[in-house]
A and B are shown apart, each in its own frame.
Chain A
């Protein structure tokens, strides 16, 4: 130790001059890699923003003729879809909302209980089997869900409710409820795991039972995260197209009850796009605008919820 001190003498004036020069040189050198990556990141970020802007502009530009022909009120509240004369999408708005809400009513309790099971109750070995299975559910293509719905759910709905055709809102709700499970489970589980351990420990130390702790302490604490999961689940349900086309029957009339065939906004676009021309085609883009507004409202809700969480 003392050796080092004796060797390490004070720098001469010449040496300190060299150090200063080296520092100046490194300060003056342009760090190209740094700049390159900075702009690469910026470019990537703008590609996303640019795409959203372009899609929005494109939808509004293409959808305008039909919107100005029918008027916003007739379009959104109109009950009859008879292209190329009447463009009322109220039945489809109702179908999209009911099917998404129905899916939430059935799917969210199941998803929430699964998330609690995975985060709090399940032994590690069981959770290691359940979690990949749920994640796999997220990876199944929607056309496969549609096919499953067509051959299993639709005939089941026919039998259970004794109706001639099972292609109904009910079938769509059941299929969508399964489809939103992975989204809601994954986000709720993360939210539950993010609750500080001290909450749980405090509750248990006060003599509360594990179930009391879960329902009265953990769930309220993870509330905003769970709600964010539910909102994303609704967005998934509203945006689903292929599976819905296969199981909901696609009638453009206002559904009278859950056992009626109905058409969602997404199905309306996908079904008629192939042959539509002129005003009819424009009306499909306007349907897209309505969908975009729905998704924007949902995202705004999500932002609001996340703001609550941050506070």
Chain B
């Protein structure tokens, strides 16, 4: 009997303990591209105070839905969100900018491409490097898989979109090689002198070389100045009457410390 009382007390306290814990958990979901930097932000935030942060990478579309439905306190998107995509009472912030770098092999002599040339390469209309001022060798275009946020942003920005039956679909040539993940694209481009690929600016390293697009280099400065065109915003969406802990987390992200973390992760702080 005594045991029963003790165990039921501890069970009840466990229940209340858990609900108290859940009340101070900030839920964040959406774009898988934003998830990486968001997890670092969450880790630093949790180390500094008591609230917990739960981050889920579900995709930009799901992030917008989550913010509208309130299934997550904060939604993440790696593309610009139109006002009519959001319900009344849902506001959005741009927490950072992410550049998409167009990259070629270190042995490739081409330094500068126009946005139009990049578009035509991916549509399969330009197929030899000599057509864009390079050596006489076929172009091996490498793209991300359908559905990837980076591919979606690249298609949107470059206008690589056509319409079939009234629906917007990709205009990237089906002959382009497909790799899943920034890492796989980097490996392929770094090992193939004829390859061209696009990756998140944060993942660029010396294994490959970025090309200028319309004369602007793929650098943070050029993106901040609005010169480099192949860039996208990381957007956070939150309901105006959201919980106080979600607002505190957003203040942290938009503050000094958040900006430093965003910069150190290779993205461009916009404040």
Q: In the complex, are the beta carbons of A86 and B164 less than 8 A apart?
A: yes
Known: A84-B167, A277-B59. A251 touches B145 (CB 8 A): no
B residues 33-86 near A (Cβ < 8 Å) are 59, 61-62
Q: In the complex, are the beta carbons of A271 and B178 less than 8 A apart?
A: yes
Q: In the complex, are the beta carbons of A253 and B164 less than 8 A apart?
A: no
Q: In the complex, are the beta carbons of B175 and A85 less than 8 A apart?
A: no
Q: How far is the CA of A82 from the CA of B169 in the complex (A)?
A: 7
Chain B residues whose C-beta falls within 8 Å of the C-beta of A280 in the assembled complex: 146-147
Q: In the complex, are the beta carbons of B164 and A82 less than 8 A apart?
A: yes
Chain B residues whose C-beta falls within 8 Å of the C-beta of A165 in the assembled complex: 140, 177, 192, 194-195
A90 to chain B, nearest CB (A): 12
B179: Cβ under 8 A from any A Cβ: yes
B7 to chain A, nearest CB (A): 33
A96 to chain B, nearest CB (A): 16
Q: In the complex, are the beta carbons of A85 and B174 less than 8 A apart?
A: no
Which of B140, B145, B165, B191 has a CB less than 8 Å from the CB of A85? B165
Q: Mark A12-55, 1 if CB is under 8 A from B, else 0.
A: 00000000000000000000000000000000000000000000
User: 12 A-B contacts, Cβ less than 8 Å apart?
Assistant: A82-B164, A164-B137, A165-B192, A249-B177, A249-B178, A250-B177, A251-B177, A252-B178, A253-B175, A275-B59, A275-B146, A277-B59
Besides A81-B174, A167-B188, 8 more A-B contacts (Cβ < 8 Å) are: A82-B170, A84-B169, A150-B187, A164-B137, A250-B179, A252-B178, A275-B145, A275-B147
Chain A residues whose C-beta falls within 8 Å of the C-beta of B32 in the assembled complex: 274-275
Q: Mark A135-174, 1 if CB is under 8 A from B, else 0.
A: 0000000000000001000010010000011010000000
Chain B residues whose C-beta falls within 8 Å of the C-beta of A274 in the assembled complex: 32, 145, 147, 180
Chain A residues whose C-beta falls within 8 Å of the C-beta of B137 in the assembled complex: 164
A residues 222-279 near B (Cβ < 8 Å) are 245, 249-253, 261, 263, 271-272, 274-277
Known: A85-B164, A164-B137, A275-B59. A251 touches B169 (CB 8 A): no
Q: Please give the residue numbers on chain B whose beta carbons come within 8 Å of chain A beta carbons, in ascending order.
A: 32, 59, 61-62, 137-140, 145-149, 164-165, 167, 169-170, 173-180, 187-188, 191-192, 194-195
User: Which residue of chain A lies nearest to B166 when distances are taken between CB atoms in the complex?
Assistant: A85
Q: In the complex, are the beta carbons of B176 and A251 less than 8 A apart?
A: yes
Which of B140, B146, B191 has a CB less than 8 Å from the CB of A164? B140
Q: How far is the CA of A272 from the CA of B180 in the complex (A)?
A: 8
Chain A residues whose C-beta falls within 8 Å of the C-beta of B149 in the assembled complex: 275
Chain A residues whose C-beta falls within 8 Å of the C-beta of B191 in the assembled complex: 155
A83: Cβ under 8 A from any B Cβ: yes
Q: How far is the CA of A274 from the CA of B140 in the complex (A)?
A: 25
Chain A residues whose C-beta falls within 8 Å of the C-beta of B176 in the assembled complex: 251
Q: Please give the residue numbers on chain A whose beta carbons come within 8 Å of chain B beta carbons, in ascending order.
A: 80-86, 91, 150, 155, 158, 164-165, 167, 245, 249-253, 261, 263, 271-272, 274-277, 280
Q: How far is the CA of A157 from the CA of B59 in the complex (A)?
A: 37
User: Which residue of chain A lies nearest to B61 when distances are taken between CB atoms in the complex?
Assistant: A277
Q: How far is the CA of A147 from the CA of B194 in the complex (A)?
A: 21
Most chain A CB within a 10 A radius of its CB, from B149, B170, B176: B176
Q: How far is the CA of A251 from the CA of B172 in the complex (A)?
A: 11
Q: In the complex, are the beta carbons of B180 and A80 less than 8 A apart?
A: no
Chain B residues whose C-beta falls within 8 Å of the C-beta of A252 in the assembled complex: 174, 178
Q: In the complex, are the beta carbons of A164 and B145 less than 8 A apart?
A: no
Q: How far is the CA of A85 from the CA of B62 in the complex (A)?
A: 20
B68 to chain A, nearest CB (A): 16
Chain A residues whose C-beta falls within 8 Å of the C-beta of B174 in the assembled complex: 80-82, 91, 251-253
Chain B residues whose C-beta falls within 8 Å of the C-beta of A80 in the assembled complex: 174
Chain A residues whose C-beta falls within 8 Å of the C-beta of B148 in the assembled complex: 275
Which of A158, A164, A249, A272 has a CB less than 8 Å from the CB of B147? A272
Which of A83, A245, A261 has a CB less than 8 Å from the CB of B146? A83
Q: In the complex, are the beta carbons of B138 and A251 less than 8 A apart?
A: no
A244 to chain B, nearest CB (A): 12
Closest 5 CB pairs of A and B: A275-B147, A253-B174, A250-B178, A164-B194, A165-B140
Q: How far is the CA of A280 from the CA of B32 in the complex (A)?
A: 18
Q: How far is the CA of A116 from the CA of B139 in the complex (A)?
A: 46
Q: How far is the CA of A271 from the CA of B178 in the complex (A)?
A: 9
User: Which residue of chain A lies nearest to B145 when distances are taken between CB atoms in the complex?
Assistant: A271
Chain B residues whose C-beta falls within 8 Å of the C-beta of A249 in the assembled complex: 177-178
User: Which residue of chain A lies nearest to B124 when distances are taken between CB atoms in the complex?
Assistant: A253
B175 to chain A, nearest CB (A): 5
User: Which residue of chain B lies nearest to A83 when distances are taken between CB atoms in the complex?
Assistant: B146
User: Which residue of chain B lies nearest to A253 when distances are taken between CB atoms in the complex?
Assistant: B174
User: Which residue of chain A lies nearest to B171 when distances are taken between CB atoms in the complex?
Assistant: A82
Q: In the complex, are the beta carbons of A164 and B62 less than 8 A apart?
A: no
B180 to chain A, nearest CB (A): 5
Known: A167-B177, A251-B177, A252-B178. A272 touches B146 (CB 8 A): yes
B173 to chain A, nearest CB (A): 8
Q: How far is the CA of A4 from the CA of B32 in the complex (A)?
A: 89
Chain B residues whose C-beta falls within 8 Å of the C-beta of A261 in the assembled complex: 175, 177
User: Which residue of chain A lies nearest to B170 when distances are taken between CB atoms in the complex?
Assistant: A82
Most chain B CB within a 10 A radius of its CB, from A82, A158, A261: A82
Chain A residues whose C-beta falls within 8 Å of the C-beta of B62 in the assembled complex: 277
Q: In the complex, are the beta carbons of B178 and A164 less than 8 A apart?
A: no
User: Which residue of chain A lies nearest to B147 when distances are taken between CB atoms in the complex?
Assistant: A275
Chain A residues whose C-beta falls within 8 Å of the C-beta of B188 in the assembled complex: 167
